[in-house]
Structure 1
Amino acid sequence: MPSHYDPQKHHRRSIRLKGYDYTTAGAYFITLCTHQRECLFGTIEDGQMQLSLLGQIVQSCWLRLPQHFQSVELDAFVVMPNHVHGIIWLGGMDCRGEAFAPRLIASSQDIHTNASPPPKDGTQPGSIGAIVQNFKSVSTRRINQLRKTAGRPVWQRNYYERIIRDQRALQNIRRYIQNNPLSWWQDQLHPNHPSKY
């Protein structure tokens, strides 16, 4: 990850490392988008997110993740009208030293910049993929129960993840998540910008 996090360039792309173990302790920046980018979760008013009932369900499901996954701790998080940003720590926040230690990384030819597809051989238990899958499944079920729309998609099939490599990147991403509601109208002015979801 670059030493300076530029949200307009980096927040909507996935760097999926071939062969990387996504059960590895550390911090992961996750973005999930609604199906067809439908604004389901509320509205932005005066730079503040006002959650709808569906947005409250999504927030509740996210905050309950540590109850379902013992190794998970949550960091900065925001529900937006048509997407969610959050930082998940695997192994807890006390693993920061390990998370930000230098690692052997796949060569640049092994780095892909598209959303993470479900693995062909199934999702590894305790992985970021398994956590996201659980969150999407539970929140979709609860939302569709409320709407009486069984089987209707809530989320895009894929999700976006980024391994957070250092403390500076962590602080920049936290700041970006916190300020995301303030940039909502700017995003709406450029719906076809290449960095859009």
Structure 2
Amino acid sequence: MELQTRKPNRLKNYDYSQNGAYFITICVQDRKPILSQIIVGEGLAPPVLKLLPFGECIKEQINNLEIRYENVKIDNYVIMPNHIHILMRIENQTGGASPSPTVSDIICAFKSLSTLECKKLLPIDILFQRSYHDHIIRDDIDYQQIWQYIDENPIKWAEDKYNTNI
């Protein structure tokens, strides 16, 4: 059986350790809704996002990114039932002796540590799908649109094609 060739998901010749803002999406393996629940409000009340135990674990690991990497800032994020969106910035200081971590290094460490911590709650083999999606933020308008998308993601969950409760 011949394996399908995967298309590269990173921008060719782009330095993913350079200063900038990045929008990251990480999906749960098989898109299982194990991170949170979205409880639909009554009447005009907005939906409420309630983190499940794995989601709480993920929240802690997202918050630890700024501690683990002094040049990483988490500006916004949302932990959906089966995926995570993170808006982060890399802010390198000039003249540093050691190389800065790339977005890939940061996400790889995040996924690995999150999986280890979640395994303490329940035995799981694989928490996340292989790889992740990234989008390099190009300007302030792009940044504001991504911010709004993250904030509105729970509201639009009922329409999401990966919502298994539809």
- What TM-score do you get using the length of structure 2 for normalisation? 0.82
Read off the aligned partner of 1:162 and give its amino acid letter: H
State the match for 1:5 in structure 2.
none
State the match for 1:143 in structure 2.
118
Which residue of 109, 117, 129 corresponds with 2:104? 129
State the match for 1:161 in structure 2.
134
State the match for 1:34 in structure 2.
28
Which residue of 11, 24, 31 corresponds with 1:17? 11
Percentage identity across paired residues of the two chains? 33
Read off the aligned partner of 1:87 and give its amino acid letter: L
- 2 CA distance for matches of 1:88 and 1:189? 24
- 2 CA distance for matches of 1:16 and 1:67? 26
Higher helix share: 1
**For the aligned residues, what is the CA RMSD?**
1.9
Read off the aligned partner of 1:126 and give its amino acid letter: P
Which residue of 158, 161, 164 corresponds with 1:185? 158
Which structure would you say has the larger RCO, counting Cα contacts within 8 Å and 6 or more residues apart?
1
Cα offsets for 1:22-46 (capped at 9, x unmatched): 0010000000000000111121002
Matched-pair contact (CA < 8 Å) for 1:31–1:85: yes
- 1 CA distance for matches of 2:22 and 2:147? 11
Matched-pair contact (CA < 8 Å) for 1:15–1:162: no
Cα offsets for 1:145-165 (capped at 9, x unmatched): 21134xx00000110000000
Consecutive aligned runs of 4 or more in structure 1 exceeding 3 Å deviation: 188-191
- What TM-score do you get using the length of structure 1 for normalisation? 0.69
Read off the aligned partner of 2:57 and give its amino acid letter: I
